[in-house]
Amino acid sequence: MLRKTVLVFAALVVFAGATIVNHCDSEIPFEDSTQISVSDCDRPTCILKQGSTVSIQIKLVPNRNIESLINDVGAILFNVPLPFIGVDGTNACDNIYNTDGSKAGCPLKEGAEYIYKNSFPVLAFYPRVALIVRYSLREGNDKVICFEVPAKITK
């Protein structure tokens, strides 16, 4: 689980500020509030506007070699997990970069620094509700990193 996972360090300051996120299935925030950046979200609750695109950036330093990564992204709405269409289940290796900005892909080497960058659309048909976004990268059934952020979908 998280003890066996990748160490995550400060995200590049590309966005307006740090995003306050919790480890999955807990109320415990990440130790460094700048580990993960979500565009236009520097405090809870993140506002996700229908028809917009949300960008995410994470700096990773694996504590073991990682052969492959899958995006596991969804919303928890009324305690029901729902996938984010277009991101959930896709290859996360396509979104891994070296710190110089060049494409890294997989495999990831233990101890090397990488930057994960991705974005997802907030589709117009998503309901305007409060929810929890659960974002994880996994290798097989092992969650390499997993975080949750409270959000609200608006018009």
Count structural domains, the chain: 1
CATH code for position 134: 2.60.40.770
Do the bridges between strand 36-38 and strand 46-49 make them parallel or antiparallel, or are there none, so unpaired?
Answer: unpaired
Confidence class for position 20, pLDDT limits 50, 70, 90: low
- Alpha-carbon span 9 to 12, nearest angstrom: 9
Torsional sign, CA 11, 132, 31, 62 = negative
> To the nearest whole percent, how much of the chain has pLDDT over 90?
45
User: Domain range spanning residue 48?
Assistant: 2-154
Residue 8 above 70 pLDDT?
A: no
- pLDDT tens for residues 26-70? 777 776 666 788 898 877 789 999 999 999 998 888 889 999 999
**Closest alpha carbon to 39 in 57, 65, 63:** 57
